[in-house]
Structure 1
């Protein structure tokens, strides 16, 4: 009986952690393409900075690496560093001097993380209904 109670508590704890992880996501999405204001701004930053030239229109790589794959292991801090400093030796320019990137790198991270997590579908995104 004690084992069953412990097992039940473990399962409840796992569900709570899973729910917490979902709520901690840096994006909110419904129907695959309706996103919160910050994530929409991240997508707009993606478009304005023409990131698809190297990373592909669906973020799955072209000349540069697949961001769908990279964001599975890249931390938010590492992402920030790459955006601001670039990886010049690999052809990635730095965007530290861009006002748009300074203001929106976290939103861009949220958008790309949503793509990487498979929650945001490729293509155009739209504002979530309020």
Structure 2
């Protein structure tokens, strides 16, 4: 009886973890994305993030976001972008990137980091 209860708890925890890790983006054919993710690409372009992180998010003066989003949680990412990190010699704060803007930017960059979204321009899903 205890084994069955333990197994049920473990399965519930695994299911919960899988749901929590659901991708924040939707992509088809490598460059067709949902509206939220498309907005994230637009935020990327408007904020001119490529000046430091490279056109394909692989790093230049600033670090690779492809690798960074493999290790940072969404909350850590938001903190780094909004509040800055080592602003005197690194990432300046971007307090204007809040709410929907930062959420959609995370979706786009997470899709790039996961290898699901191809580099370059993205288009809306049909």
TM bin (shorter chain): 0.7 to 0.9
Cα distance change, pair 22–123 in 1 and its aligned pair in 2 (3 A): farther
Partner of 1:124: 121
Q: TM-score, normalised on structure 2?
A: 0.81
Q: Among 3, 8, 26, which residue is 1:28 paired with?
A: 26
Give the Cα separation in 2 of the matches to 1:79 and 1:53: 18
Gaps of 5+ in 1: 1-12
Determine if the alignment matches structure 1 residue 41 to structure 2 residue 39: yes
CA RMSD of aligned residues (A): 1.9
1:73-116 deviation digits (Å, cap 9, x = unpaired): 011000110111011044211111x1xx1231010001000000
Determine if the alignment matches structure 1 residue 91 to structure 2 residue 90: yes
Q: How many residues align?
A: 111
Partner of 1:56: 54
Gaps of 5+ in 2: 1-10
Give the Cα separation in 2 of the matches to 1:124 and 1:118: 15
Partner of 1:65: 63
